[in-house]
Structure 1
Amino acid sequence: MTKASQGFLGTGPGARNLAFSAVALAVGLGAGVPQLALAQSYSFSNVRVEGNERVDASTVATYADIGRGETVSAARLNDAYQAIVDSGLFESVELVPQGGTLVIKVTEYPTVNRISFEGNSRIKDEDLQRIIQSQSRRVYSPATAEADVAAIIAAYEQSGRIAATVTPKIIERSENRVDLVFEIVEGAVVEIERISFVGNRAYSEGRLRRALGTKQAGILRRVIRSDTFVADRIEFDKQVLRDFYMSRGYVDFQVLSVTPELTRNRDAYLLTYNIREGQKFHFGSVTTSSDLSEIDPDEFMAAAKVSEGDTYTPLAIENTVARMERLAVRKGLNFIRITPRITRNDRDLTLDVEFVVEKGPRVFVERIDIEGNATTLDRVVRRQFRTVEGDPFNPRQIRQTADRLRALGFFANAEVSAREGTSPDQMIVDVNVEEQPTGSLSFGLSYSQIDGAGAALSFSENNFLGRGQYLSFRLDTGTDNATSRFVFVEPAFLGRNVRFRFAATYAQTDSGNYDSEYDTQKIEISPSLEFPISENGRFELRYAVGENTFKNYEGSSSYLQAEAEDPGQTYSKIGYGFTYDTRRSGLDPNSGIVLKFNQDYAGLGGDLEFVETTALAGAQQMVWNEEVTLRAELEGGVLSMLGNSKSRVTERYFLNGKIRGFDGNGLGPRDGADKEALGGNMYAVARFEAEFPLGLPAEYGITGGLFADFGSVWGLDDGGAIDDSFHLRSAVGFSVFWKTPIGPLRFNFSNAVIKEDYDKEQNFDFTVSTKF
């Protein structure tokens, strides 16, 4: 790649070591060899540079740094030679003393005319250009070109192409210019064939694989592209394993080694984790103490949510410290530090925890510096802090701020650090973020047994105009229905921890949907405010105004015919909702609950007056070493019409999607010669489900499930001879869950075991959704 040096001295390491000999030979013109070896010092009254075209002679002399008349040794001349070579500007360098003149002969590196890439298809030219350091119209450097080769190969290794090769070549042009070409052979993607564990006793390999960020493709890796091998990801997965075991009480857990091994054909990796689980620990005694007179230990102890016998988890410690710190702030106590002191009891495998409430150092936040946010406004980043300039400095809150910034989804990376400010009691908080795309435009296809085939077009932006706002528009069309929806969300309304949401919806269904004999249309505008009221609870206030239209009825039900006489009815309603959810933030990683309660009152205008109340309670628990997931949900609703208002099919419940085993509009009160579904003003549903592995290789992404659903919908306004009383329905079945490249599929095989004669069953259904 490099042209051969033309001077007496080359530029390679061996040639550089001969610099002294070269100088000695040059000085000894007309003298014998013994006198050359004894020469020790030289003096030059002039320095002449030859062979330079672009680089000024004075620049070369500056690199040599030999002054006029200065006495220099042979070693000093060698240093001058080395300095000129290290400048990276010359292909060859030669120092020739000629009496009182030092002649520096150089051959300049050519200029890069253009840079091109050949053989690449997986990584685009513009992306490769950003990776390399060589640039057009700059001096060509072999060392830089070799570094570019390493950078390109590293980029391919990150995408799993470890066999990629890159060969740099130069094509000589006129006027000492060259074209630099990187010839690339990308090679095939190397998938992970197997991830195995040695030393695991409490949890199976399948459960541990599900915890890792890296996934295996298995023996079907040529068909199922699951994950490529990335060496840098191993450290992340090791930390994931530590967190997994620590959250389950295994405080001595260690990853002893991780061994990646190529298969014999070098087309896949075998990844082996050698781990040591240790013993499972529980909380022993949990106490609080303090030497401060203004602190009541019992009051702070009440903030702890852990008790003796609970499985030990660092998250419980962290949450308790946070609660105690918030309590201190509410009591007006600054610079309070909560220090958990842990005593280990190996005999009974418990950890005693003492939360010591004490005075911390008086350190303040001097300022918060934010860098890297070219689009996102500073205030979006700042509102993730629980402190502002002038507040007491809390290192734990700084760590939590970094987690909240990463959770926003606006940044590819977010780092928060602290350093000393203008004085020892002042700290400067540095925030460095790397932004990433936050918008998406997608087109999707879907199919279900109830709705049939459909298409969807959606646009969403999670960081609208860099303000942290959410904006979306979605259009869904099906065989007999169409829905469009616009949503805008401001997560920090008026600078507070209040979420403002505005939604506008238009939906219509045509005759034939669920075998109905009428069309419906709904238009609604709904603003709302939502804010936290506890660690896991949120409260919502909302208002909605809209119109429900029931038209083009062609059936035989006198009950529905009466409703169709008034096709459009408007409503104006105000409501509230409460949600309590521990599925992601609870101390027990194997379980979680969700509670929802909503109530709306319509009567602030419009044609309808009613009170609607709905509630849901759900729980999830992983059992049998987390191999089986149990889920249960109870749900119900009541629509109470007030005044002269009467419910119509546009307001009543039908349980579509809430109970399996029945067709759309397949259960509930019916009327007319064709037994048309009327819906009901009340419903109640109980759903129970278990998901478990089927013994198939994990790379298939297939699991099974059993379910049992119970429920009913009933109650009409002035039902008359129509049977609108409560009749229990029940269905049981088997599910197959399949994670595929086009999205998650679910197949339900069900059988209605408790039903009415007029109910319509659906023994099989599945859903599929994809975006591209």
Structure 2
Amino acid sequence: MARFCPVRACILTLALVAAGPPLAGPMSAHAQVAGAGQGAQSQIVIRGNRRIEPGTIISYMALPSDRAITAEDLNAATRRLFDTGLFRDVRVIPADRGIVVEVQENPSINEIAFEGNDIAKDEDLLRIISSRPRFPFTPATAESDAQAIIEIYRRTGRYGAQVEPVIIERSENRVDLVFEIDEGEMTGVSSIDFVGNRAFSDSRLRDEIETRESDFLSVFFSSDVYDPDRLELDKALLRQFYLSRGYADFSLLSATAELAPDRTGFFITFDVEEGEQYTFGEFDVQVNAEGLDAEDFLALIPAEDLTGETYDATEVEEIANELTDLAGEKGFAFVRVQPRADKDTEDRIIDITFELSEGSRIFIERIDIEGNTATLDRVIRREVELVEGDAFDARKIRLTRSAIRGLGYFERVEVEAEPGSGDDRAVLKVKVAEKSTGSINFGIGYSSSAGPIGTVAVTERNFLGRGQIVNATVTAAGDTQVYDLSFTEPKFLDRDLAVTMRGFFIQDDRDDESSFQLNRAGFEPSVAFPLSEDATLQLDYSFSRDDLEAAFNASPAIQVDDGSRFKSSVGYTLSYDKRNDRIEPTGGYLARINQEFAGLGGDAQFVKTRASIKGWQGFFDDDLVASIEVEGGALFTFGDDTRVNDRFFIGGNSLRGFAAEGIGPRDTVNASRDAVGGNFFGVVRAQVSFPIGLPEELGIYGGAFVDAGTLWGLNRTYFDAPAGNTSVSAVTIDDDPKIRVAAGGLLFIDSPFGPIELSVGFPIVKEDFDDDEIFRVSVGTRF
């Protein structure tokens, strides 16, 4: 490829000087040369052009027409011709009575193709390159396009990608431009090292960041792929980790990522300066806003609990947020709470003073939403606590950020205020990055009575970008199938009303456990709404038809319920959620109570109550998490007896170590040994989870559990044998409460298919007629 060359310009200048005085007068491709000298017209002769007209070339040269032409003018004209990208070579040759311009045109691009690209689509690559069909081909542009393609691959973690532009000659000075692409492998992280850390080991700090080192499981994960954005997050996580553990002087000096010479991996190094560890000293509040009392805010600070404890910047931020919320509740939306830390470096104590001052009065001018490609704007906007014209309120902005994150539709949520059109106006920017909202969940188990148990649930939590939830579940356990379809509008009429329509059909063959088959079809509309920040109430109605067919050899306690029955009921579920995290809680508790009232039409008349409370507590920096749950239920009927399919059954997930329907009142006289359920139950479940010494990136944890429970109570315990059926005998069933206890081990695996839980349980206290279940596994995945 030929370009404008300074050496050529010098030679051209010397030739012009040797030829005589500068050429004067206007130049035209068609003018005849009458003679040289002042005032004579000169001729420009164009040679070598095939597609481009001479007049077009002369216009690109832009030579002056009102004065003599100098060597500098010709040099500039040559540059301009090269800059058009139309020519691969240009020569301007002075002649006796004019100028000869010899050009060699660049070929035109006939077709652009990509080879070797499996991950990136052709249409996506075409959008990022500058070369176009029917436009001139230039090597410089092709090389620039190749670099642009390489940059796209680097953004996806493929730093070893190579792109080579190749041309194929065609007739009529045309070429096909082919980009030969070697996408390469994902460029992983070969090592993560820390320099300057004394208080915490490298492995402990690696646990706190998102980036992981590559290993044999890397094919399933993406956290081992180098990502500059993830590295920025890691820096923030390290700061948060140290500042929450008392290292107030912590400084991250640098975070570097060096690519190996063979481009197969990155070496990441964090250079830290830990400083000394501090404890909390005294707390105070300084109010500089008229109308606020400092004592009201001091009451919110747990000074007695924190003084002397390890300094925690996260705790300081949470207190500042609570003080801001209190100011907002008192009508002071513009109050700013600024924590001031006074460090005593000798005793390593930090006194905290929260300064409350009146800020500038700012109002929301506009709310902009960016980044949502699938989710409708209104789905996000209805979570925003502010509207245009409202006073700027930092508390409501935090609530907005939390609410949008809580939707579960986005990987990243940023809610920031930017300057508006005036000093008293702000634009609220909501920036999101969407993620997959569909999921497939699999449950796998094994019961010594029912054999393999499997569940498949398909859920879309953001249906058509409208924030609606569609769920379809199919469960197969032996000869039992459950088909469940539900649709939920979580914000009915854009209010805090979640309306759900659910239809179901159950083919429940309990021949192995209770010697009957149950076909149930029905629908359940419901509506749920918050009562407070932590409490939720759900109201529902249920209508179903239950067809119960008892086996010929079933217990008389089962055969008495043979036949069809319609059930019409209303109910409610009240939940109170104080967990610190909805996905992986390490503190707090969750309480629920559910009641169903049957008898609004139909054949069933009963009141069924179920209540539970579960608490979590983390220890040793949340490496060990313990939980305990208490659950109980009661069934009361207005008729003569409760029906077997309305009673409670315990076992499986509800009492590990025992099979589903494995404990409780049972016919021990007849050969079927049918479980008949009970009207009352109580269960206590205790569990701990902890690391087992394997590398953090493997995502494998251990655990242990102890479950205890009982199921008891029938309206009557004696049942006559059915008339004419000599295969079964009359039976009196023991319905006394008897405690069962089981213990075992747990294994949790963060697999590419989702969290896997394996449990091995062994009954410790049991009855001879109970049904055990030793092993159970469940797994879920996302798509």
Matched position secondary structure for 1:758: coil
Match status 1:242 vs 2:239: yes
Residues 501 and 529 of structure 1 are in contact (CA less than 8 Å); yes or no, is this contact kept in structure 2? yes
Match of 1:727 in 2: 738
Residues 587 and 615 of structure 2 are in contact (CA less than 8 Å); yes or no, is this contact kept in structure 1? yes
Match of 1:69 in 2: 66
Match of 2:777 in 1: 766
Q: Report how far residue 743 of structure 1 moved.
A: 4.4
- Structure 1 segments unaligned to the other structure (5+ residues): none
**Cα offsets for 1:216-256 (capped at 9, x unmatched):** 343x3587766543241322222233333434444433444
Match of 2:653 in 1: 657
Q: Report how far residue 207 of structure 1 moved.
A: 4.8
Residues 289 and 335 of structure 2 are in contact (CA less than 8 Å); yes or no, is this contact kept in structure 1? no
Query: Counterparts of 2:50 and 2:408 in 1: how far apart (Å)?
Result: 53
Q: Give identity over the alignment, percent.
A: 36
Query: Counterparts of 1:71 and 1:589 in 2: how far apart (Å)?
Result: 84
User: Pick from 701, 714, 717: which aligns with 1:716?
Assistant: 714
Residues 580 and 595 of structure 1 are in contact (CA less than 8 Å); yes or no, is this contact kept in structure 2? yes
Match of 1:30 in 2: 19
**240-249 or 657-666: which moved more?**
240-249
Q: 1:630 to 1:371 in 2, by over 3 A?
A: closer
Residues 446 and 453 of structure 2 are in contact (CA less than 8 Å); yes or no, is this contact kept in structure 1? no
Query: Counterparts of 2:150 and 2:376 in 1: how far apart (Å)?
Result: 36
Residues 43 and 100 of structure 1 are in contact (CA less than 8 Å); yes or no, is this contact kept in structure 2? no
Choose 1 or 2 for highest CA Rg.
Answer: 2
- Structure 2 residue identity aligned to 1:469: Q
- Structure 2 residue identity aligned to 1:540: Q
Matched position secondary structure for 2:133: coil
Query: Counterparts of 2:202 and 2:677 in 1: how far apart (Å)?
Result: 48
- TM-score scaled to structure 1, two decimals? 0.85
Query: Counterparts of 1:413 and 1:704 in 2: how far apart (Å)?
Result: 30
Q: Report how far residue 570 of structure 1 moved.
A: 0.8
**Cα offsets for 1:504-556 (capped at 9, x unmatched):** 222221244x5331112333433333333444443333333334442233344
Q: 1:748 to 1:368 in 2, by over 3 A?
A: closer
User: Pick from 610, 632, 637: which aligns with 1:636?
Assistant: 632
Q: Report how far residue 668 of structure 1 moved.
A: 0.9
**119-128 or 263-272: which moved more?**
263-272
Q: 1:701 to 1:409 in 2, by over 3 A?
A: closer
Q: 1:43 to 1:742 in 2, by over 3 A?
A: same
Residues 324 and 395 of structure 2 are in contact (CA less than 8 Å); yes or no, is this contact kept in structure 1? no
User: Pick from 576, 582, 585: which aligns with 1:579?
Assistant: 576
Match of 2:378 in 1: 379
Q: 1:161 to 1:371 in 2, by over 3 A?
A: closer
Q: 1:102 to 1:489 in 2, by over 3 A?
A: farther
Matched position secondary structure for 1:515: coil
Match of 1:597 in 2: 593
Instruction: For 1:514-533, list aligned pairs within 5 A.
Output: 515-533=513-531
Q: Report how far residue 753 of structure 1 moved.
A: 0.9
Q: 1:475 to 1:320 in 2, by over 3 A?
A: same
- Structure 2 residue identity aligned to 1:709: D
Matched position secondary structure for 2:678: coil
Residues 623 and 691 of structure 2 are in contact (CA less than 8 Å); yes or no, is this contact kept in structure 1? yes
Match of 1:489 in 2: 488
Query: Counterparts of 2:406 and 2:173 in 1: how far apart (Å)?
Result: 53
Match of 1:18 in 2: 7
**181-190 or 573-582: which moved more?**
181-190
Match status 1:612 vs 2:608: yes
**Cα offsets for 1:729-755 (capped at 9, x unmatched):** 111122233344444443322221111
- Structure 2 residue identity aligned to 1:185: D
- Structure 2 residue identity aligned to 1:502: M
Q: How many residues align?
A: 748
Match of 2:540 in 1: 542
Query: Counterparts of 1:487 and 1:733 in 2: how far apart (Å)?
Result: 35
Match of 1:109 in 2: 106
Match status 1:736 vs 2:747: yes
Residues 461 and 472 of structure 1 are in contact (CA less than 8 Å); yes or no, is this contact kept in structure 2? yes
- Structure 2 residue identity aligned to 1:695: G
Match of 1:132 in 2: 129
Q: Report how far residue 113 of structure 1 moved.
A: 1.7
Q: 1:70 to 1:549 in 2, by over 3 A?
A: farther
Query: Counterparts of 1:378 and 1:531 in 2: how far apart (Å)?
Result: 22
**Cα offsets for 1:449-477 (capped at 9, x unmatched):** 03655666655433334322222333344
Match status 1:498 vs 2:494: no
Query: Counterparts of 1:396 and 1:82 in 2: how far apart (Å)?
Result: 61
Instruction: For 1:264-343, list aligned pairs within 5 A.
Output: 271-302=268-299, 308-309=306-307, 312-343=311-342
Matched position secondary structure for 2:149: helix
Matched position secondary structure for 1:546: strand
Query: Counterparts of 2:301 and 2:659 in 1: how far apart (Å)?
Result: 49
Q: 1:315 to 1:532 in 2, by over 3 A?
A: farther
Match of 1:182 in 2: 179
Match of 1:215 in 2: 212
Residues 653 and 681 of structure 1 are in contact (CA less than 8 Å); yes or no, is this contact kept in structure 2? no
Instruction: For 1:297-446, list aligned pairs within 5 A.
Output: 297-302=294-299, 308-309=306-307, 312-347=311-346, 349-370=348-369, 373=372, 375-394=374-393, 397-398=396-397, 401=400, 404-405=403-404, 408-410=407-409, 416-431=415-430, 438=437
Match status 1:554 vs 2:565: no
Q: 1:456 to 1:280 in 2, by over 3 A?
A: same
Query: Counterparts of 2:735 and 2:504 in 1: how far apart (Å)?
Result: 31
- Structure 2 residue identity aligned to 1:340: P
Query: Counterparts of 1:456 and 1:101 in 2: how far apart (Å)?
Result: 89
